Amino acid sequence: MNSSWWHPALLVIALAGALPGLPRSRPGCLLFLTGLLLASLGLRPGEFPQSPGWLVLDALNLWLLPYTLLLHLAIVLCIPRSQLTPQSLHHLQISLAMDLCFFSLRQPLLLAIFWCLSHLGLVASLWGSPEKRLKKVLITFLGGGCLAFGLGTWGLAQGSDWAYWAFILAILLRKAMVPFHLWLPELFEKGPFGQAIAFSAPQLGAYASVRLLTGQANQELLGVLGGLALLTALHGACLAFGQNQFRRVYAGLFMGQTSLVLAGLQGQTPQSVVGGLTLWLSGGVALTGLGLCVWGLLARRGSMDLSQFHGGYERSPLLANAYLVFGLAACGFPATLGFLGQDLLLQGTTLEHPHIGVLTAVVTALNGITILRTYFRLFCGSPQSYAISQSLRPRERLAMLLLLAFLIGFGLMPRALLNSRYQAYQESHGPSRTISY
Amino acid sequence: MTGAELCLTCALGILALQAGSFLLLGASILIGRPLSELATGRLMAWTYGSCFLLSLITALSFWCNGQDNLSLSLGEWTLPQSYEFHGVLRVDALALPFLVLATLLCGVVGRFSQKYLHREPGYHRFFLLLCLFGLGDCLTLLAGSIETLYVAWEMLGLTSALLIGFFHQRPGPVQNGLYTFAIYRFCDLCLALAAVSIYHLAHTGDFASFLGQGNWPHQVTTLTPRAATWVGLLILVAALGKAAQLPFSGWLRRAMEGPTPSTAIFYGALSVHAGAYLLLRFSPLLDASMLLSAITFLIGLTTALWGRAVGMVQNDVKCSLAFASLTQVGLIVAEIGLGFRLLPIVHAVGHALLRSIQFLRAPSLLHELHQLHRAIGIRPNPPVMAPGFYRAPLELFYLEAWLERAVVAPFLSLCRALRRTDQKILDRFFGVEPR
């Protein structure tokens, strides 16, 4: 398929789907997303238009477009009926369109515009919400991130060195990294859960770091970012480990595992970078699957305190098993794609600094224990009686199956994905790499 | 087909059969239509019957083939000049006795469990996990590279924890499963680091490249003594965790919460000896490092004494057997530390067979003992111990209490402090939310 016109056409269709005033239902939205997903699988690398290179499709983002579509498709499949409104679907479509556009761009100014626009879906879903503190927290952190990105873009146009510091600040804020991580647990605890996953899982911060920092910023700056990413991973793992509030445990796990992506991307060895790029996809899919299980549980049982056992394995064995498999996949259990990503990351970081390798392994081990602890607390214990059916609905099964097929399929046959990630590494670290403003 | 090809095909067949059964059982559970008990039982009987037969053929063709090491590549994923993940199977004189033992015991325990777990709610879950365990154990034994070994090792750890928590309606087994998993994760972390270290030292994870060419146990490692000690120490920690050696012995008593068949196969036979197998597999590293051998010997001996003392005060048949098992495994580890190579294999295989039958008979042990006493007309007195000596073994010589106080509690406090600090910052700058 000729990407030179099909890629922009796909983006225009996604943007058109996000327009207000269209009739929206789950089947229609699913049809729309499935069509886009299938179309995105046929894309081939290229640029549009040829000379300015506004839209770019290379090894890095060739996989990011179907990945983002897959995540949104799974989220739409799993929206509980009690939370399904045309508005919620519209907000997800806005997020999707902005993420797809962001992942298709390379120019800093366009990236800055879509960086800001990518918050629209979340803002819209929180518009009428009574959670005043959450809004304040998000405006402070994410608004600060937009400001920093804008400043970085302006600084880059002026040719200033501090522009990269501004980009790093924006990425730290968007990826909820220590010391700017406080908004993420708050969002997952009090915000709309599905929208929170859709906002965080694609990891726009990681894309910005590859496009704007890799090969451009000096190594010290990247070292700072990598160090903070590792610290965040450890912090997130500790937060999840010592936490009894179910949503906050998920937030801690999310922070811990997604920070490893950035730690890998800032590495200096091919193993680290390819590991980071692989974990980006595997961690995103696994954490989305885990999040959908959490969302399904919250919709069926309400908020849960993990200091108690809640039982219910017999009533929802599929949900329990899916939770365990997604959780283990997120922590790099063998036979899943996450294992390869973790292995590459561990190899790369250990080669650079052995103590970083040890820390990476500790984070993974802690997260693995947290996953099993939460699994036992949520699904084991004396059977409880619930008014709502605990079993998974067919659409939810389909979503889990799609995500599991991705994780296990590429976990057992990773060659194509691994080659593409290596190619992305070569392109991003190649000698001819420049950023044009 | 040559003898070597037959040998490798059979070894691959053992893994494929177990993987196939696991997928079949898993798929039937996943679609919500689990097989009937009868069908599951037949599937298990066929699977492990065939696996045992294949392991015998593997062993026979190996001995007829001249007993040279055989390797089979399962595939590799590589990045140019930077990364290599090589799946390799290796059939040698060390793997085969354990392989025959593993397939035999999985089959026996599977057959026993069909009656023992009849109409239990977790019947299918048990066999699913048994298949995964069998696959993990056989892959551990046949692994020819550190990457393959690590994959298999992780499978063992997970299935072990899930089977300890098999009766998950009670909090006790579940908490004990988690405790065991946490110990395993810590020890597996060391194996992962050992794998990475080996890769950086030898630029490949294949055993032949860093443990030396030649047939086991006559290999000479290519690593320097210093590197061998470092990697060997990491491997030792991994082995100690699975073999429940000191200071990781606390989980063994907790593991008795699992169903008797899984206790028999895990903690009487296969899993608990996996640590000893790992040490034997990496014995060229022990040969290269006197320090490592001495540490291995001392830990094994201490664990044996500790296990004997603790086992004497247990008032539960499964716990008594578990600590008796620990004593023997401690002795096996000490033998490995002393430089014996064939003796530990004979000891481990004999012990695994005896202990698994003892575990399987444990539920009817009291009944049989009473019968025996009635038949011979005596009532033996229990062993008398000094009161001062009684409490310390009963408390596992305060090992768990010390771990709880020195490691777990401070770490949990740190995690909670981090959480409180985050909350305080939010409250300070964004206002306290009404709760």
Q: Do B79 and A422 touch (CB under 8 A)?
A: yes
pLDDT band, very low/low/confident/very high, at A436 (cuts 50, 70, 90): very low
Largest CA distance in chain B: 80
Determine the residue among B131, B200, B204, B422 to mutate to test chain A binding: the one whose Cβ has the most chain A Cβ atoms within 10 Å.
B422
Determine the residue among B131, B164, B185, B432 to mutate to test chain A binding: the one whose Cβ has the most chain A Cβ atoms within 10 Å.
B185
A390: three-class secondary structure by DSSP: coil
Compute the 3-state secondary structure of chain B and give helix, strand, coil in percent, each to the nearest 5: 75, 5, 20
The dihedral sign for the CA sequence B13, B15, B18, B22: negative
Using CA coordinates, name the residue in chain A closest to B79.
A422
The dihedral sign for the CA sequence B316, B321, B325, B330: positive
How many angstroms separate the CA atoms of A265 and A430, rounded?
A: 14
pLDDT band, very low/low/confident/very high, at B382 (cuts 50, 70, 90): low
Please name the member of B150, B171, B422 whose beta carbon is closest to the beta carbon of A381: B171
In this structure, the number of other CB atoms found within 10 A of the CB of residue A179 comes to 12
Q: Do A182 and B426 touch (CB under 8 A)?
A: yes
Percent of chain A with pLDDT over 90: 67
Query: Which of B34, B88, B96 has its CA nearest to residue B65?
Result: B96
Give A263's contacts (C-beta < 8 A, 6+ positions apart): A226, A229, A230, A233, A272, A276, A345, A349, A356, A360
Residue B120's pLDDT is what?
86
For the stretch A123-141, pLDDT in tens is 999 988 888 899 999 999 9
B123, B124, B128, B129: CA torsion to nearest 10: -30
**Residue B246 contacts residue B329 (beta carbons within 8 Å):** no
Residue with token string 């269709």: A13
Average pLDDT over residues B205-216: 87
Residue A403 has pLDDT above 70, yes or no: yes
B88: three-class secondary structure by DSSP: strand
pLDDT band, very low/low/confident/very high, at B105 (cuts 50, 70, 90): very high
For the stretch A305-344, pLDDT in tens is 888 888 888 888 889 999 999 999 999 998 899 999 999 9
In this structure, the number of other CB atoms found within 10 A of the CB of residue A20 comes to 8
Using CA coordinates, name the residue in chain A closest to B178.
A373
Determine the residue among A380, A384, A412 to mutate to test chain B binding: the one whose Cβ has the most chain B Cβ atoms within 10 Å.
A380
- Measure A255 CA to nearest chain B CA, in Å: 14
Residue A209's pLDDT is what?
94
- Measure A320 CA to nearest chain B CA, in Å: 11
**Residue B293 contacts residue B339 (beta carbons within 8 Å):** yes
A46-48 and B83-91 beta bridge pairing: unpaired
Residue B388's pLDDT is what?
67
Choose the most confident range, by mean pLDDT, from A212-221, A391-400, B73-82: A391-400
Residues of B in contact with A379 (CB under 8 A): 168
Query: Which of B53, B58, B49 has its CA nearest to residue B10?
Result: B58
Give chain B's mean pLDDT.
90
The residue with greater pLDDT, B231 or A435, is B231
Q: Do A346 and B188 touch (CB under 8 A)?
A: no
Residues of B in contact with A182 (CB under 8 A): 422, 425-426
Please name the member of A136, A351, A376 whose beta carbon is closest to the beta carbon of B165: A376
Buried b (16+ CB within 10 A) or exposed e, A180-209: bbbbbbbbbbbbbbbbbbbbbbbbbbbbbb
Please name the member of B169, B188, B426 whose beta carbon is closest to the beta carbon of A383: B169
For the stretch A21-46, pLDDT in tens is 888 899 999 999 999 999 999 888 76
Please name the member of A181, A344, A358 whose beta carbon is closest to the beta carbon of B193: A358
Determine the residue among B415, B416, B423, B425 to mutate to test chain A binding: the one whose Cβ has the most chain A Cβ atoms within 10 Å.
B415
Give A313's contacts (C-beta < 8 A, 6+ positions apart): A320, A379, A380, B168
Identity of residue A207: Y
Percent of chain B with pLDDT over 90: 59
Please name the member of A317, A373, A422 whose beta carbon is closest to the beta carbon of B178: A373
Residues of A in contact with B177 (CB under 8 A): 372, 376
Please name the member of B170, B185, B430 whose beta carbon is closest to the beta carbon of A133: B430
pLDDT band, very low/low/confident/very high, at A435 (cuts 50, 70, 90): very low
B169: three-class secondary structure by DSSP: coil
A46-48 and B70-79 beta bridge pairing: unpaired
Identity of residue B211: L
Please name the member of A311, A335, A418 whose beta carbon is closest to the beta carbon of B169: A311
Residue B75 has pLDDT above 60, yes or no: yes
Residue B387 has pLDDT above 80, yes or no: no
Please name the member of B158, B178, B189 whose beta carbon is closest to the beta carbon of A376: B178
The dihedral sign for the CA sequence A196, A202, A203, A207: negative
Please name the member of A346, A351, A418 whose beta carbon is closest to the beta carbon of B192: A346
- Enter the pTM of the model: 0.93
Residue B65: exposed, middle, or buried by beta-carbon count in 10 A (0-12, 13-18, 19+)? middle
Q: Do A239 and B169 touch (CB under 8 A)?
A: no
Using CA coordinates, name the residue in chain B closest to A240.
B415
Please name the member of B77, B121, B411 whose beta carbon is closest to the beta carbon of A314: B121
Residue B296's pLDDT is what?
97
Residue B147 has pLDDT above 80, yes or no: yes
Q: Do B189 and A365 touch (CB under 8 A)?
A: yes
The residue with greater pLDDT, A204 or A24, is A204
**Residue A185 contacts residue A133 (beta carbons within 8 Å):** no
DSSP lists the bridge partners of residue B145 as B206
How many angstroms separate the CA atoms of B159 and B43, rounded?
A: 20
User: Is the peptide bond preceding residue B284 cis, with omega within 30 degrees of 0?
Assistant: no
- Measure A102 CA to nearest chain B CA, in Å: 29
How many angstroms separate the CA atoms of B193 and A350, rounded?
A: 9
How many interface pairs between A and B have CB atoms less than 8 angstroms apart?
129
- Measure A309 CA to nearest chain B CA, in Å: 7
Using CA coordinates, name the residue in chain A closest to B186.
A365
Q: Do A270 and B83 touch (CB under 8 A)?
A: yes
Residues of A in contact with B154 (CB under 8 A): 333-334
For the stretch B149-197, pLDDT in tens is 999 999 999 999 999 999 988 889 999 999 999 999 999 999 999 998 9
The residue with greater pLDDT, A400 or B394, is A400
- Measure A271 CA to nearest chain B CA, in Å: 7
Using CA coordinates, name the residue in chain A closest to B182.
A369
B83-91 and B70-79 beta bridge pairing: antiparallel
Residue A431's pLDDT is what?
58
**Residue A375 contacts residue A330 (beta carbons within 8 Å):** no
Please name the member of A238, A274, A381 whose beta carbon is closest to the beta carbon of B415: A238
Q: Do B426 and A379 touch (CB under 8 A)?
A: no
Determine the residue among B162, B168, B203 to mutate to test chain A binding: the one whose Cβ has the most chain A Cβ atoms within 10 Å.
B168
- Measure B68 CA to nearest chain A CA, in Å: 30
Residues of B in contact with A308 (CB under 8 A): none
Q: Do B426 and A137 touch (CB under 8 A)?
A: yes
Residue B371 has pLDDT above 80, yes or no: yes
Residue A302's pLDDT is what?
81
- Measure B24 CA to nearest chain A CA, in Å: 16
Residues of B in contact with A372 (CB under 8 A): 161, 177-178, 181
Q: For chain B, what's the residue count?
A: 435
Tokens of B145: 């590279």
Determine the residue among A339, A343, A374 to mutate to test chain B binding: the one whose Cβ has the most chain B Cβ atoms within 10 Å.
A343
Give chain A's mean pLDDT.
90
Residue A50's pLDDT is what?
59
How many angstroms separate the CA atoms of A357 and A365, rounded?
A: 12
The dihedral sign for the CA sequence A115, A121, A127, A130: negative
DSSP lists the bridge partners of residue A48 as A55
Q: Residue B266 carries which DSSP code?
A: I
B29: three-class secondary structure by DSSP: helix
B155-159 CB contacts, 8 Å cutoff, 24+ apart: B155/A334, B156/B242, B156/B271, B156/B274, B157/B181, B157/B184, B157/B185, B157/B188, B157/B242, B158/A328, B158/A333, B158/B132, B159/B129, B159/B130, B159/B132, B159/B133
Please name the member of A185, A357, A418 whose beta carbon is closest to the beta carbon of B77: A418
Which run of H or E residues covers position A64? helix A64-78
Query: Residue A53 to residues A46, A59, A64, A430: CA-CA distances in angstroms?
Result: 9, 15, 18, 17
Q: Could you give the angle at the alpha carbon of B116 between the alpha carbons of B115 and B117, nearest 5°?
A: 95
Q: Do A242 and B416 touch (CB under 8 A)?
A: yes
How many angstroms separate the CA atoms of B418 and B145, rounded?
A: 40
B144: three-class secondary structure by DSSP: coil
**Residue A368 contacts residue A328 (beta carbons within 8 Å):** yes
How many angstroms separate the CA atoms of B333 and B340, rounded?
A: 10
Residue with token string 């063994």: B252
Q: Do A321 and B29 touch (CB under 8 A)?
A: yes
Minimum mean pLDDT range among A385-389, B119-123, B329-333: A385-389
**Residue B92 contacts residue B58 (beta carbons within 8 Å):** no
Q: Do B169 and A418 touch (CB under 8 A)?
A: no
Residue B415's pLDDT is what?
92
How many angstroms separate the CA atoms of A411 and A281, rounded?
A: 12
Residue A434's pLDDT is what?
44
